[in-house]
Structure formats: C-alpha cells, structure tokens
Chains A and B, each alone.
Chain A
Amino acid sequence: MSFEPNIVAFLCKWCSSAGADLAGVSRLEYKPNVIPIQVKCSGRVNPLYILKALKEGADGVLVSGCHPGDCHYVKGNMYARRRFAILRKLLEYIGIEPERFQVSWISASEGTKFAQVIDEVTESIRALGPQKKLTKVGFDE
C-alpha cells in the first residue's frame, strides 16, 4: 500500500477555516490527508502544539491564518510569524526536513487556494515519506 501522510492543520477560525468551508461548498476536490483543527487565531498556536503533533506521529503540520493585516485580532498572525520563523530554523538545524512544518496565509475567500495548498503540502510530505524522527521509539510502525 502506498504511503498516505497524516497531516495536522491548525486553521484559524476567521480566515482559513472559512476558506476550507468555501472549498467545501464550492465542491473543490482536495487530498483527504489533512486533519483540520480549528483555533481562534494563528497567533494562538503555541510551538508546543507543532512539536507535540510531530511527536505523536504526524508526518507534517500545517498552520494557516489570515493574511498579514487581515487578522481578526489585528496582529495575532504577526506574532505567530516570528515564532514560526524561529521554530523552522531550529527544526532545520537539528536535521528535520523544514517541509514537515508549513505555514500559509489563506483568507476566507480563497477556497481554491486552500485546496491547492492542501494538495501541495500533501504531495511534498508524501515525497518525504513517514516522519519517524520525532516519534517515540516503540511507536514506530
């Protein structure tokens, strides 16, 4: 059986979740590998969430929020951007493929972009294969 990646997506309530809804009601087709988790804001995503998701066996993590300047809480996504920039550099430094953790800005009107991003992320993580570096020994398949 071919490898199907498990991807956890943290979507902000105001833009990206609405974008996902739009993709749904527009009957756009996209890969089913993503498990969406709605959060209030991308600025609410603690780097712990991303590390924990990877530790519990996610092959990749996607965080998506409003475009800069469009945040419902004015600047939550700007704080998030700083944090994620550091986390990505750290992950890369210790030898984890940076594609495992991706960030995207998707607005409520960008249903097609949502479908496209999900497809892209899924394919790039499928190409990397299963993520076993941060998962617990003994839980590997």
Chain B
Amino acid sequence: MSDIEGNIQAKAKKLLKDGTIKYFIGYENGSDPLHTTPCFIKKAEDVDKIVWNPLCVNNLAGYLTHDKKRELKKGEEEDKKPIGILVKGCDSKSLVQLLSEHRIEKDEVIIFGVPCDGVIDPKKLEKVLKDKNLSVNTIDSLTIQHDGKNYTVKVNGKKYSFPKDKIEMSKCSDCTQPNPIISDETFGEKVKKSDKKDYKTVEEIEALPLAKRWKFWSDQFAKCIRCSACRNVCPVCYCKECVVDSADLVITPQTTSSEKANKMPWLEKNVDPAENMFFHLTRMMHMAGRCINCGECERACPMNIPLSLLTKKLEKEVKEMFDYEAGIDVEAKPLLSIFEEDDPGDFIK
C-alpha cells in the first residue's frame, strides 16, 4: 500500500467518522485484477476498500450530479452534507466545469486531489499480458509501479516491464493538467507533464480528402449500437431529460401541444447510420466548450469508436477560434453564452 493510498484512507476515515461528509467517492478493486471500479464509501470502517494506483481510470466527477438528479423518497430529508471525492488532474477539470455551470457548488464537495502521472488503459494492459501468455483468469496478484519511462507490472510474483506509451491511456501522453486545479487537500507530490496538447491524430484526419473523411467516420458510426454509454458516462452530460430520448413520446389525444413542441422526436430509436451520425453530432454540439477531453466516452464505448478524435477536434477548434478552454476557471462563462465582436465569421456571406 502506497503512502498516498494510506493518507487518502486516513483522511476519508476521519471525515466519515466525524460526520463531515455524507459519503466518499473513490476507487476500489474491481472484479478482475486489471480493473478498479468506483466505490461509494458510507461507513468509516469501509475505508480500507479505497485504492489508489495507476489503474484508477474512471472520472468520478460525474457522480456528483447523480445525487442531485435522484428524487427524494416520501418523507426523506435531503442530506445537505458535502460529498468527499477523489480527483486526478483531468477529473478536476470536469469538476471545475461542473462548478462553473453551478451543477454543484463548492461547499457541497470536499475534494481530495491526487497529482497523477498517467493511468493505464486496461484494454492495452490485457493485450500486452496476453502476449506474455498471461490471461486475466490466471492472475492472482498484480501490482504496478511507475518509474519514469516504464511501468513495472508484477504479476503473480514475477516482474515485467512495459514502456509507458504501450499501456498508458492515450489521453495521458499529452496531458497538460496532471495536478488538480482545485482541491481541499492534495496527496502526493506535484507532477510535471507536457506543456502543449498534441493534435496530431486530429490533424491526420483533417488532412484527408473529404470523401475519405466521410468514409472513415461513416464506417465508425455504422458500428455504433446507440447504447448511450458515451452520454451516460460523460461527467458534463447531466440533463435529467436528454434531447435524444425524445423519441419516447407517444402522441395520444391527451398530448398537449406544448408537449409535442418540447418533446419533438428529433431522433428515431432505430439504429441506422444516419440516426447515429445525428446522435453523435448533436452530442458534440452540446459538448462544445464544455468537454475537457477526459476520454471517458471513448473508454466506455463497447464498439471502440474513436470518440476522442471528435472531442479533441472540438477542443482544438474552440481554442483556435475563440481562445477558450473548458474546465480551467470556476468563474468562466459558458462558451456559447458569450460572444466577441470579432468572432470568426468568414463563412458568412
């Protein structure tokens, strides 16, 4: 157990014991050794479950809004105590974005910040272990240590070394925010990472001719099964009612005209490439200036659609056109609710 993990546990235990927080959101070991899973610790005696290691991939910030969406049971009183949450550098950007949109307020959350030196993509790790003839079922113990350019993975007592770029999440290679932007308490030393975002993957697609770009994206979106995992996992997709769910409206003689107008079936339920395209473009429009590129949508996608190519493009354009970056400043106004006199308008006749 690392120092950081111990300190987090001790602090969480203290806060839970004296009743400062209602629960703590952190990570615990998953059902297999390659994954950790989010956990909600409500009792001080359960804090031993909390882990912190390079497998803590999930962005936990989104869970903060879940609690607000839940409707209270009859007679239940709202627990106004703050929630404790563990955030990495990138997750803290999501948290800042939620704070700036007033989805949560600062006094409703106690932030445990951890500077993060990159997290491991379980899919990639599984693959490299498979190459060494290690399947998930045969792994009893797995510890990961990080030393500069390599990860040392200790499996069943045997050590393996893998280069960083082979098993790390792709979002970590050009991370500009390894240290939490805001935190009530920081655990561990500050980390230095890249200064500049790398848009090479996006630029490669931009350089393709139009027909090839279309081929690439239509093939990708044809795979989509519209499970909505990308939307549901997204920390800033918090609406109670989503525009793409409007297909559920059944029109009866009792349906009022305002219902028909407000619940316009923009999208049909059938999984069809055109509908999928519409879904993803709509989602991207709603993400503009809000997405912080945490990569959760891509990670959650069961069909391996490279959604980060879309979110990165969005981030790049928003930066280039409006010099705006999401999730940096709690006081910032949302991108689409402000304007400048000299916004780009060359495309307008």
A residues with CB within 8 A of B: 47-48, 51-52, 55, 68, 75, 78-79, 81-98, 102-105, 117, 120, 133-137
Chain B, residues 260-276, CB within 8 Å of chain A (1/0): the string is: 00000010000011110
9 A-B pairs besides A82-B336, A83-B285, A104-B349 with CB distance below 8 A are A52-B266, A52-B278, A79-B337, A84-B348, A86-B288, A89-B321, A90-B285, A95-B215, A102-B347
Instruction: Indicate which residue in A79, A89, A93, A103 contacts B339 across the interface (CB closer than 8 Å).
Output: A79
Whether A95 touches B217, Cβ cut-off 8 Å, given contacts A55-B274, A86-B317, is yes
Contact B272 A93 (CB under 8 A): no
On chain B, the number of residues with a Cβ less than 8 Å from chain A's Cβ atoms is 42
- The SS class assigned to the B binding surface is helix
Shortest Cβ gap from A44 to chain B (Å): 13
Whether A134 touches B278, Cβ cut-off 8 Å, given contacts A93-B205, A94-B214, A98-B347, is yes
Contact A81 B214 (CB under 8 A): no
Q: Which residues of B contact A92 (CB under 8 A)?
A: 210
Shortest Cβ gap from B14 to chain A (Å): 46
Contact of B218 with A by CB under 8 A: yes
Shortest Cβ gap from A129 to chain B (Å): 13
Instruction: Indicate which residue in A88, A117, A134, A136 contacts B349 across the interface (CB closer than 8 Å).
Output: A117
Contact of B206 with A by CB under 8 A: yes
Q: Which residues of A contact B281 (CB under 8 A)?
A: 47, 51, 90-91, 94
Contact of B153 with A by CB under 8 A: no
Q: Which residues of A contact B215 (CB under 8 A)?
A: 95
Cα–Cα, bound, A76→B205 (Å): 33
Instruction: Indicate which residue in A82, A85, A86, A134 contacts B277 across the interface (CB closer than 8 Å).
Output: A134
